């Protein structure tokens, strides 16, 4: 099964991926995590992506599509995967479709997590991420059991440089201009499953699993 998580920055894609990977037995592939990992390692991909990410702009399609297709070719994706943060443009959606079609595969479902804009800013500005396993937390909504430490792996938590209010607003503008058209694109393809992401984390998880099993 190939599942796409679609939604604005801060909608809860990474948070819901924690439950979905466990319940569906699929790996999560996060384009943002892959870019950050490449930066940490000092890899060329990381350098290419850095200036775009700092500004809150999208990394060019060509670079992003290549990175994801390479990751999808790994053995742990043979049975499918959960794509988090990709595709973010129509060009990326078409690139993915064509690559899957060559292997007689296709996207099964697109889970669209819908959240109001004011809530998104609050979520992004209070987000903390595990440096080691990338699990997201929130100072108020989803705090770790021990301050500054990841529940899952004990790793150190940090705030992303692009989670300031200013850059978050820029990322939301980019989302509405370049990514939101994908909602209609996948709805027309009959693949869109929409959930109300304004509610609590567990409620959204329950609703998502129920909607996906239909
Ligand atoms: P969020 O979880 O807040 O939505 P991500 O971690 O997915 O943020 O992305 C962080 C940044 O990485 C984006 O602002 C963008 O610069 C870059 N990025 C991630 N995924 C993509 C993509 N599919 N296409 C282009 N740029 C991307
Ligand atoms: P995305 O991957 O879509 O950018 P995240 O999963 O990283 O979003 O969530 C953004 C922030 O909002 C995190 O701090 C997370 O703990 C918090 N969060 C996620 N889902 C919810 C929810 N349903 N209610 C309240 N806070 C949430
Ligand atoms: Zn961790």
Using a 6 Å cutoff on CB, does residue 31 contact ligand 1? yes
- Cis upstream peptide for 126 (omega within 30°): no
* Element of type H or E holding 196: strand 192-196
Has residue 41 been placed in a domain? yes
Has residue 146 been placed in a domain? no
Using a 6 Å cutoff on CB, does residue 171 contact ligand 1? yes
The CATH number covering residue 84 comes to 3.40.50.300
Given ligand 1 and candidates 82, 85, 171, which is best to mutate, with the most ligand atoms within 8 Å of its CB? 85
How close is the Cα of 136 to the center of ligand 2, in Å?
7
For 181-197, how does the pLDDT look when each residue is reduced to its tens digit (9 = 90+)? 999 999 999 999 999 99
Query: Among all residues, which ones are annotated catalytic?
Result: 13, 88, 127, 160, 171
Domain that holds residue 61: 2-115+191-213
Would the CA dihedral through 9, 10, 13, 18 be positive or negative? positive
For 130, phi then psi, to 5°, come to -75, 125
Domain count of the fold of the chain: 1
Using a 6 Å cutoff on CB, does residue 64 contact ligand 1? yes
pTM above 0.95, yes or no: yes
Has residue 169 been placed in a domain? no
* Helix spans in 108-180 (H): 117-125, 165-174
Taking residues 95-110, report their average pLDDT: 97
For 149-182, how does the pLDDT look when each residue is reduced to its tens digit (9 = 90+)? 999 999 999 999 999 999 999 999 999 999 999 9
pLDDT at 115 (0 to 100): 98
For 4-28, how does the pLDDT look when each residue is reduced to its tens digit (9 = 90+)? 999 999 999 999 999 999 999 999 9
């Amino acid at each position: 099964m190939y599942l796409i998580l679609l939604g604005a920055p801060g909608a809860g894609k990474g948070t819901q991926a924690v439950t979905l990977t466990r319940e569906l037995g699929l790996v999560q592939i996060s384009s943002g995590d892959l870019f950050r990992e490449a930066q940490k390692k000092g890899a060329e991909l990381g350098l290419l992506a850095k200036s775009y990410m700092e500004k809150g702009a999208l990394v060019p399609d060509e670079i992003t599509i290549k990175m994801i297709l390479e990751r999808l070719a790994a053995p742990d994706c043979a049975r499918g995967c959960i794509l988090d943060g990709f595709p973010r443009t129509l060009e990326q959606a078409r690139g993915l479709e064509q690559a899957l079609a060559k292997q007689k595969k296709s996207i099964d479902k697109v889970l669209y997590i819908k959240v109001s804009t004011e809530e998104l800013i609050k979520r992004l500005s209070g987000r903390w991420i595990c440096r080691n396993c990338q699990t997201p937390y929130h100072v108020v909504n989803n705090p770790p059991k021990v301050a500054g430490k990841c529940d899952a792996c004990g790793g150190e938590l940090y705030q992303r440089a692009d989670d300031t209010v200013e850059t978050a607003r820029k990322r939301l503008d980019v989302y509405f201009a370049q990514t939101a058209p994908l909602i209609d694109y996948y709805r027309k393809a009959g693949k869109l499953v929409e959930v109300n992401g304004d509610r609590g984390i567990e409620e959204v998880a329950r609703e998502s699993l129920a909607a996906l099993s239909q």
